[in-house]
Amino acid sequence: MAYPSRSTNSKPSPPSTLRVYLYIPNIIGYIRILLNCFAFAICFENKKLFSFLYLVSFVCDALDGWFARKFNQVSTFGAVLDMMTDRISTACLLLILSQVYRPGLIFISLLALDIGSHWLQMYSTFLMGKSSHKDVKDSNSHWLFRAYYRSRMFMGYCCASCEVLYIMLFLLARNQIESLPLVLENAVKRSWLQTALLVLVGFGWAIKQLVNVIQMKTAADVCVLFDINKKH
């Protein structure tokens, strides 16, 4: 009597926990964390090296998404790791700027807006059963919010503008405590190329902050509607 082979009916085994942790995009995420840890450790000793390492980490942020799609290694852990690394990196840089510039409250407020809006967006995403906080295809929110997440180039420009602007401000600071308006005024007077770059990244930065505000309101609405629908 012949018995059917087990391999013909058996389903492929799911990837092990270790295998997911060792996905290429996740490994890139670990490298980003190490780069940022070293960069922030030397930020005041070598500002140029810090800026280079920080921007390399930011470029790797784009690479991990490409590798995830290329090798079909998209994971929830990877998405959370990516957002966590982004938010902590930006938060640390904003904290440093809040100590270098006056008024420092500007950078603390930007930090709170950045973390608050993304945390709410991530939480509302899971309430709706979505796998990514960037999934807004069925969203009825503001057109700018949808355009931001639907266009990788537009989102990349806005995110890059924020990071480049913050790095520029860090490099422009010559003293331990600086006046933000005075530094910007001197930078504009010093070079037309520097002025053009500040305008270019400043525009993208402004859009990113507006999107953060819209994102916070949109995500808060999802949380409220979830409670209302649950009661009915």
> How confident is the model at residue 44, as a pLDDT?
94
Mean pLDDT score, 88-114: 97
- Whether the pLDDT of residue 141 is over 90: the answer is no
Residue 88 lies in a domain: yes
Residue 9 lies in a domain: no
- Whether the pLDDT of residue 4 is over 80: the answer is no
Residue 5 lies in a domain: no
How far apart, in Å, are the Cα atoms of 215 and each of 36, 131, 158?
26, 17, 14
Query: The domain that contains 174 carries what CATH number?
Result: 1.20.120
Mean pLDDT score, 59-63: 91
The better pLDDT of the pair 165, 176 is held by 165
> How confident is the model at residue 230, as a pLDDT?
84
User: Per residue in 194-221, pLDDT tens?
Assistant: 999 999 999 999 999 999 999 999 999 9
Q: Please list the active-site residues.
A: 86
> Mean pLDDT over all residues of the chain?
90
- Whether the pLDDT of residue 1 is over 50: the answer is no
Residue 3 lies in a domain: no
Mean pLDDT score, 69-98: 94
> How confident is the model at residue 3, as a pLDDT?
46
Residue 178 lies in a domain: yes
Work out the pLDDT band at 73, boundaries 50, 70, 90: very high
Domain that holds residue 169: 18-133+140-231
Residue 10 lies in a domain: no
User: Per residue in 22-43, pLDDT tens?
Assistant: 999 999 999 999 999 999 999 9
Work out the pLDDT band at 165, boundaries 50, 70, 90: very high
Number of domains in the chain: 1
- Whether the pLDDT of residue 159 is over 50: the answer is yes
List Cβ<8 Å contacts ≥24 apart for 55-61: 55/163, 55/164, 55/167, 57/32, 57/85, 57/89, 58/89, 58/160, 58/163, 60/28, 60/31, 60/32, 60/35, 61/32, 61/85, 61/86
